[in-house]
Chain A
């Protein structure tokens, strides 16, 4: 019996192997979207909790990673929606791995963040992954479970809306 078949049957050892194999990748994916390391850990656990609960519906011949990415993406999207309802600005982690451009003043960055947070959540998600994280469109389409063309059109709409908003706010990019 294969690992995925054992997982489907509820074998906890098989689940642990899959968990350890994918926890880092799922965490990395979620943290790219929501940009909050603590919450990303919680959502990673929630993703695997849902995976374990839904194991009976899992097709062992299917791609486990693709399934996990889709569940994680949906959870991250719900989190972005909740965060928007609570009107919290996107978190900017203290420990950045890339230095900020010193030429870009704090005020301008705030304007850009505000414009970005006003985008519809689906456009925000596509723009985060494509423009900020520079993930391939194919990977984004797989994780969102949408056609490649839809990803492209969401990114291009996000660019158009941001361009218009920033122009209106007189922010020079």
Chain B
């Protein structure tokens, strides 16, 4: 249910006149460019051992916070 009132209808009419309808039909198949994109930029998934390494590092940083100073010194 739309709130129809004079303001609404006048503004709607003005907008429809100022912005002509666009053609919403797709005139070409987008699958070939999609397939090219999938081949050019293969979706990289983070392997489980990278997650395990990140978790181990986070655990070490929580258990031994001073180790951050050692890293900072070497940077």
CB-CB < 8 A to B26: which residues of A?
Answer: 23-24, 27-28, 41, 44
Contact A31 B11 (CB under 8 A): no
A interface residue count range (under 10 / 10 to 19 / 20 to 34 / 35 or more): 35 or more
Chain B, range 1-31, C-beta contacts under 8 Å to A: 2-3, 7-8, 10-26, 28-31
Binary flags per residue of A40-60, CB closer than 8 Å to B gives 1, else 0: 010011001100110010000
* Chain A nearest CB, measured from B4 CB (Å): 11
A contact residues vs B (CB 8 Å cutoff): 12, 16, 19-20, 23-24, 27-28, 31-32, 35, 37, 41, 44-45, 48-49, 52-53, 56, 90, 92-93, 95-101, 104, 109, 112-113, 116, 127-128, 130-132, 137, 152, 156, 158-160, 162-163, 166, 171, 173
Contact A28 B25 (CB under 8 A): yes
Interface of A, secondary structure class, is helix
Contact B24 A31 (CB under 8 A): yes
Assembly CA distance A32 to B2 (angstroms)? 20
B interface residue count range (under 10 / 10 to 19 / 20 to 34 / 35 or more): 20 to 34
B69 within 8 A of A: no
Q: A162-B11, A163-B7, A173-B11 are in contact. Are A23 and B17 (CB under 8 A)?
A: no
Contact B15 A19 (CB under 8 A): no
Contact A131 B11 (CB under 8 A): yes
B47 within 8 A of A: no
10 residue pairs, one from A and one from B, having the closest CB atoms: A96-B20, A28-B24, A173-B14, A112-B18, A27-B26, A173-B10, A109-B18, A98-B21, A101-B17, A131-B12
